[in-house]
Amino acid sequence: MPLADELGFPSIPINKKWIGLAVLGIIIIVVLAALFYSIGPEELGVIRRFGRYVRTTQPGLHVKAPFVETVTKVRVLHVFKEEFG
């Protein structure tokens, strides 16, 4: 006798098709999250593929090869403001 029946919980049938679809959905979400990156207005993005420099990107939303390219954000522009009087 299953433990769920002994404790009085209802037995829920698990469909392997739904488990496979859920795993596939999670994988797609992870890949899409790794696909996009954002560079702030005071930054430049240095893109490296397997550790070697590939290109530099300007501020904005960009796309990269997930798990192959890495982005290092470098702060290059900082506006200093001083008020007189």
Residue 25 falls within a domain, yes or no? no
Position 43 in a domain: yes
* Residue numbers of the chain with a pLDDT score lower than 50: none
Residue 13 falls within a domain, yes or no?
no
**pTM here?**
0.63
Report if residue 81 sits inside a domain.
yes
Whether residue 11 lies inside any domain: the answer is no
CB burial of 31-51 (b: ≥16 within 10 Å; e: otherwise) equals eeeeeebebeeebbbbbeeee
Nearest of 72, 60, 69, 73 to residue 35 by alpha carbon: 69
Tell me which residue range forms the domain holding 64. Answer: 37-85
Q: Is residue 77 part of a domain?
A: yes
Q: Which pLDDT score is estimated for 1? A: 52
- CA distance readout (Å), 5 to 2, 10, 12, 85: 5, 7, 11, 80
Query: What is the number of structural domains in the chain?
Result: 1
pLDDT tens figures, 57-80: 999 999 999 889 999 999 988 777
CA angle 51, 53, 56 (to 5 degrees): 130
